[in-house]
Every structure is written in structure tokens, then in C-alpha cells.
Amino acid sequence: METVSTNRSHGGMQGVYKHQSAETGTEMAFSVFVPDHAPGAKLPVLWYLSGLTCTHANVTEKGEFRAACAQHGVIFVAPDTSPRGDDVPDDEGYDFGKGAGFYADATQEPWAKHFRMRSYIETELPALIAQQFPADMARQGITGHSMGGHGALTIALRNAGRFRSVSAFSPIVSPLSCPWGEKALTGYIGGERAAWREYDACALIEDGARVPDMLIDQGTADGFLEEQLKTHLLSEACEKAGQSATIRMQEGYDHSYYFISTFMAGHVAWHAERLKA
């Protein structure tokens, strides 16, 4: 692991790092905020997964999470959204290829070699975080935005017992039911829709997956709400399955980091309550 930069902020250290990933076969960058803590102490970890076109830098620079993480003693980890590099295949659209890994392990060519974001986020990067930072991996929460909200929900639902808390901002709740999901999963996984269910939060809940609780914030002025995000599908799936969920429609908010930063401190506090020792 190589340190790219470190900056003191809000009584903690904000770092950006990079390493050579075995899963993606590329160099991967990520950011970590570590609050000040007693020597030898281990802190809970909150993962944040970003949306389409983003890198770790979007939330690191605009997410306004550091004061809340320092207050509650929570490490904040923000990975990239896809492999990068000249040898990595790409697509002309913003919603597929680089910046749009969809937190899936691709099985289709030419994507299968590098686009292994599911394994990277679920296995490789957590092992690195546990090794390099004062992280208590028995106390993990996960959140994300848009495509990253999809990632947070599906990763938590697939990994029962790993995450004590899961939340999301404007998540893609059902890739089976929206153009973004259909394009990404067809390209990465293939045309057999049954294979997509493990990448669909609503389908996972329908198939019996559960998390202790979830918190969702969605802006009513979000231009992607009706066609891509379809929050009502998650509400219906949770209600039918008896899955505990707080789903809040926030009047007048859009899809941007103005929205995310407004509610970020509340999400950090919500996770911190559930990540107590």
C-alpha cells in the first residue's frame, strides 16, 4: 500500500492510498479517514460506496462526513467505483465501463478480467483495511449513493451477519427493473436474468435475505427517481417480507452531494449507534 496524501482534519487524519489489486489486476485508489483514538484502540468501520462516474474523491471532498466520524469515533472508507488504466476496457456511455463497475464480478468478455468489484469490495479491500488501519472488523457498517447505494444494500444482504448497519442515499433498488441495471448486468453478467437476482436488493429480500435494519434517504426532486431508482419497489419488498426499514422521502432534494452532505452526519450517527462495542 502506498500513501498518496494525508491531511489533518476534524481531529483525525484523512488519507488517500493506492495498491495493486489482485482481483482487478490494476492499481486501485481509496480514501480512509481515521479519527484520533487511544493507542491500541480499534475503531468501527463505515464503508461508503460511490455512484456512477465517481471515484473515492467525490465523497472525500464533498461528503462532509469527517466531523461526525470524529465525534463518534468511526473510520470512514471510500473505495473507487471501478478498475482504471489504459488496458482496462471501457464504454462510450457514462453508465458502463470505467466509473461504473456496479459492484459486480463480471463474467462476460472483455470485462471479466478486470471488472471484479464485488470480490474487491467484499474480500480484498477489507483484508487490507484490517491489516493497515486500527479497524475493528467485527463492527462494520456500509452505506452508499445511487449505484453505490445498490452496492451497499446488496453486499449487506448477501453477507448475513457481517454488517451491523446498512444505509443508502438515492439507491438503485432494483437493477432488474431499470435501464441502468439492465445495461450493466447484461454487459457484465450476461442475458440470463435469473443470474442478476444476487445483484438486486428487492430480489434478494424476496429470496429471503435480511439485514437487521436499513435507513434510506431519497430526494423527491431527484431526476432519476421515477425511471432508475424506483424507491417504492424497495418499500413494497420490505413491507411484504417484514424487513425493517426506514425509508424517508426528503422534499425538494435532488441527486447531488448537496443532498448527500445534508444528511450524511445523521447517517454516520445512525451507524455509530449500531456499531457500539
Instruction: Give catalytic residues, as residue numbers.
Output: 146, 222, 255
Mapped onto helix, strand or coil, the DSSP state of residue 235 is helix
**CA proximity to 203, closest of 241, 247, 170, 169:** 241
Contact 214, 183 (CB under 8 A): no
Cα 52–91–77 angle (5° rounding)?
30
What distance in Å separates the CA atoms of residue 44 and residue 47, rounded to the nearest whole number? 10
Collect all residues with Cβ–Cβ distance below 8 Å to 21 and sequence separation of at least 6.
Answer: 27, 28, 83, 120, 124
